[in-house]
A and B are shown apart, each in its own frame.
Chain A
Amino acid sequence: MSERIEAEACVIGAGAGGAVVAAELAEGGMDVVVLEQGHWHDPDSFTARPPQMLARLYRDGGQTTTLGTPPILLPLGKGLGGTTLVNSGTCFRTPAKVLERWARELGLDMSEESLRPCFERVEEALSVSEVTPELAGQNAAVARRGAEKLGWSHGYLRRNARGCVGSGVCAFGCPTSAKQHTGITYIPRAKRAGARIVTGADVERVVVQGGRASGVRARMASGAHVEVQAPLVIVAAGTIHTPLLLARSGLGGSSGQLGRNLSLHPATAVFARMEEVVDMARGVPQSFYVDEFAPQGIVFEGVAGPPAYAAMSLPLTGARHAQAMADYRHLAQFGVMVSDSSRGSVRSVAGRPLIRYDLEEADLRRFRTGLARMRELFEAAGAREVYLPLPDGVSPERARLRDLKLMAFHPLGTARADARATHGVVDGELQLHGARGVYVADGSAVPSSLGVNPQMTIMALATRLAFALLGRDVEDAQAKREAA
């Protein structure tokens, strides 16, 4: 059985990139089909229970792991909204220095000023605003106290949330639908504008004929095939899966860069036992940051969750673990994120992604510094005890690669943009080098580590792409306001 659908554009994936492109194209009058591998998750099914929500909202139950030293847990969302469904909602624009480097080294015309209207449009669509101290909760207050005592640069994060009451389970399905993930924002907009959203569709290949996109072939869970005939194909299956799809379609391989240049923005977290009651899961888990060491590639961001989550990440065992958990209400936690210079790769083995990534010495040094500074932060905040994610007796200064316990949330770069066909998979307009009409609109096209959470960069680039395909300029909201 095979169903044929005709459309002007086929978007593969409904996460940060795909949902935005689909909505903007559909609202611009284009006939759009979205193929999403996952499904719609009804907020009524959210239970705030970490193991259950990991199993339901994440690929492989959130247990995707890299192969290398050290192994790194890489949780990825699955369903309408993609990883925006399960991230913490933190919103940063692309740092100007990063854009300048892309222009200088990769020939990409993506200046801060040219992207400003795209960022403003996304921020307005997602109700992006700064977390208030009241909503941030006590976990953020602890970090703030430490940063203020030490005189370190810090602030409250901007998030895509509306009517948030600080449920504390952003990563396990927002029970109030306050987090404005793309599954409840851009996807409904796309639908209202006439886009057809097909869930449970496993895309097998992108079809290119005579050097031009002609459509997409997908397989449904029932075994039936769907063939979408479309002259525009926008691949947004995510940094791990986009290169695999392009490779099995025989596309994007000419530069030798497909599946390479993987950056992860690896992270680890430190716990502290405080005198005061923290109740880390009351409030916005990721609400506060310390960027004192950002020039060195190290940023601290809040992280927190219910007891099951804390028990899983607390770096203790046996009786010490039980004792610390008995004091859960007094536990604070904060994350150390490293803007990595290490690079990995992804390729398909038996149809599944094999992610190789070895942390380089330079990034190990960043983690050593980050962990030492984080201990200092908690001590300045009055911690009774600090629990570093290192083996007993190993100090941050002496930590080896294999001592680190890392997670990563921001994979980028596996189909990187570069104006030169010999160096990149897509060009500055995000079109595949060597295949007209095939575009990439997810983290895989983002050419390097950003040093900040990437969802806004992905969405802004997706907005820019959509308007370019429509042949229109993105409305300049600032200019409009000034004119008014």
Chain B
Amino acid sequence: MPTDSSSRGTLDEFVASAPALQRVGMRALVALARRPRGAALLARAPAIDQLAQIVVALGRYDDPEVAMTLGWDGAGVVARGRALRHAERRP
């Protein structure tokens, strides 16, 4: 399993798990969306632009710091779950 837990790392893992054609398409879209000129180009095709923005947003809001500012503490949820499982000997 990849161990990169940065938001870019988790997004890359997500993109890499897609079927081949979608994977190629998503990588191209993400690369374009992350560059100002690429983003301007995408803006001319709203449907494709929306798809690119979805993927980029998935990565951006997966960032634990960003999520924390929105009230979501994913690490805390995981830690609480782990403690509960171990304390109660859940599977």
**Bound complex: CA A174 to CA B10 (Å):** 18
Contact call B18/A60, Cβ cutoff below 8 A? yes
On chain B, the number of residues with a Cβ less than 8 Å from chain A's Cβ atoms is 40
**Bound complex: CA A52 to CA B9 (Å):** 9
- Given known contacts A281-B72, A310-B61, A321-B53, is B17 in contact with A48 (CB within 8 Å)? no
Contact call A317/B53, Cβ cutoff below 8 A? yes
A384 within 8 A of B: no
Contact call A52/B10, Cβ cutoff below 8 A? yes
Contact call B82/A44, Cβ cutoff below 8 A? yes
- Can you report 22 residue pairs joining A to B where beta carbons are below 8 Å apart? A43-B82, A45-B1, A48-B77, A50-B58, A51-B10, A51-B62, A52-B62, A56-B17, A63-B18, A168-B77, A175-B81, A176-B85, A176-B90, A178-B90, A308-B57, A308-B59, A308-B67, A312-B54, A317-B50, A325-B61, A329-B70, A352-B19
Q: Which residues of the other chain, A, contact B54 by a CB distance below 8 angstroms? A: 311-312
**Bound complex: CA A44 to CA B82 (Å):** 7
Contact call B81/A329, Cβ cutoff below 8 A? no
Contact call B82/A175, Cβ cutoff below 8 A? yes
Interface string of A76-112 (1 = CB under 8 A from B): 0000000000000000000000000000000000000
Q: Which residues of the other chain, A, contact B72 by a CB distance below 8 angstroms? A: 281, 306-307, 328
Please give the distance in Å from B17's CB to the nearest CB on chain A: 3
6 shortest interchain CB distances as A-B pairs: A175-B81, A61-B17, A51-B14, A55-B17, A308-B62, A311-B57
Contact call A163/B84, Cβ cutoff below 8 A? yes
B78 within 8 A of A: yes
**Bound complex: CA A168 to CA B70 (Å):** 15
**Bound complex: CA A310 to CA B82 (Å):** 24
Q: Which residues of the other chain, B, contact A328 by a CB distance below 8 angstroms? A: 70-72
Q: Which residues of the other chain, A, contact B91 by a CB distance below 8 angstroms? A: 43, 177, 184, 188
Please give the distance in Å from A360's CB to the nearest CB on chain B: 23
Contact call A317/B81, Cβ cutoff below 8 A? no
Q: Which residues of the other chain, A, contact B78 by a CB distance below 8 angstroms? A: 46-48, 175
Contact call B57/A312, Cβ cutoff below 8 A? yes
Q: Which residues of the other chain, B, contact A174 by a CB distance below 8 angstroms? A: 81
Interface string of A158-170 (1 = CB under 8 A from B): 0000010101110
A: residues with CB less than 8 A from B are 43-52, 54-56, 58, 60-61, 63-65, 163, 165, 167-169, 174-178, 184, 188, 277, 279, 281, 306-308, 310-312, 314, 317-318, 321, 325-326, 328-329, 352
Within B37-91, the residues touching A (CB, 8 Å) are 46, 49-50, 53-54, 57-62, 66-67, 70-72, 74-75, 77-78, 80-82, 84-85, 88, 90-91
Contact call A43/B81, Cβ cutoff below 8 A? yes
**Bound complex: CA A306 to CA B61 (Å):** 9
Within B1-42, the residues touching A (CB, 8 Å) are 1, 5, 10-11, 13-19, 22
Please give the distance in Å from A319's CB to the nearest CB on chain B: 11
- Given known contacts A49-B74, A52-B10, is B58 in contact with A65 (CB within 8 Å)? no
Closest to B79 in A: A175
Please give the distance in Å from B55's CB to the nearest CB on chain A: 8
Please give the distance in Å from A158's CB to the nearest CB on chain B: 21
Q: Which residues of the other chain, B, contact A318 by a CB distance below 8 angstroms? A: 53
Please give the distance in Å from A93's CB to the nearest CB on chain B: 26
Contact call B14/A54, Cβ cutoff below 8 A? yes
- Given known contacts A52-B10, A61-B18, A312-B54, is B84 in contact with A176 (CB within 8 Å)? yes
**Bound complex: CA A188 to CA B89 (Å):** 14
Please give the distance in Å from B9's CB to the nearest CB on chain A: 8
Contact call B77/A43, Cβ cutoff below 8 A? no
Which of A52, A177, A321, A352 touches B57 (beta carbons < 8 Å)?
A321
Contact call B49/A52, Cβ cutoff below 8 A? no
Q: Which residues of the other chain, A, contact B18 by a CB distance below 8 angstroms? A: 60-61, 63
**Bound complex: CA A306 to CA B5 (Å):** 17
- Given known contacts A56-B1, A306-B67, A317-B53, is B14 in contact with A165 (CB within 8 Å)? no
Contact call A329/B82, Cβ cutoff below 8 A? no
Q: Which residues of the other chain, B, contact A281 by a CB distance below 8 angstroms? A: 72
Which of B16, B61, B75 touches A308 (beta carbons < 8 Å)?
B61
**Bound complex: CA A175 to CA B13 (Å):** 20
Most chain A CB within a 10 A radius of its CB, from B60, B66, B71: B71
